[in-house]
């Protein structure tokens, strides 16, 4: 039962961090394109790839399942924003900005997959030293 509390705490922290970072990015870039959502999804993908490798079966750190759930389910789940990505993409397309909608899809998927691979690679590199 304790694992649910850890996931809830991670989710709360991740959600607040997403709001804060998204707002900061919007102040810098404006609201015309969802750069903040892309950034949080890329960062969350980097973190989940890193933690999955670092604490996985061949990882450098043996972590309790509660710690893994706190970070990968709670923190990353609260921080990343697939539902926001979907809504923003729909709104761009509905507003006639099809190129922006397509760019949001391509950038989000490509950058997040790249970030997961990078996180995995960084943790594997750290595990070797």
Sequence spans of domains, the chain = 2-128
**Contact yes or no for 48/112 (Cβ under 8 A):** no
pLDDT tens per residue, range 20-45: 999 999 999 999 999 999 999 999 99
Backbone dihedral region for residue 56 (phi beyond 0: left; psi -120 to 50: alpha; all else: beta): beta
Does the pTM surpass 0.75? The reply is: yes
Q: Could you please report the per-residue DSSP string of 15-83?
A: HHHHHHHHHHHHHHH-SSS-HHHHHHHHHHHHHHHHHHHHHSTTSSS---HHHHIIIIIIIHHHH--HH
How much is the average pLDDT of 93-99?
97
Other residues' Cβ atoms within 10 Å of the Cβ of residue 44: 26
pLDDT (0 to 100) of residue 92? 96
């Amino acid at each position: 039962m304790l694992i649910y509390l850890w996931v809830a705490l991670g989710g709360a922290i991740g959600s607040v961090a997403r709001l804060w970072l998204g707002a900061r990015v919007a102040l810098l870039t404006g609201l015309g394109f969802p750069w903040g959502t892309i950034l949080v999804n890329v960062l969350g993908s980097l973190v989940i790839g890193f933690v999955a490798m670092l604490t996985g079966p061949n990882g450098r750190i043996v972590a309790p399942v509660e710690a893994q759930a706190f970070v990968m389910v709670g923190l990353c789940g609260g921080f990343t924003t697939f539902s926001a990505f979907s809504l923003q993409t729909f709104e761009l397309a509905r507003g006639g900005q099809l190129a922006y909608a397509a760019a949001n899809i391509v950038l989000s998927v490509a950058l997040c997959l790249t970030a997961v691979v990078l996180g995995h690679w960084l943790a594997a590199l750290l595990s070797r030293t």
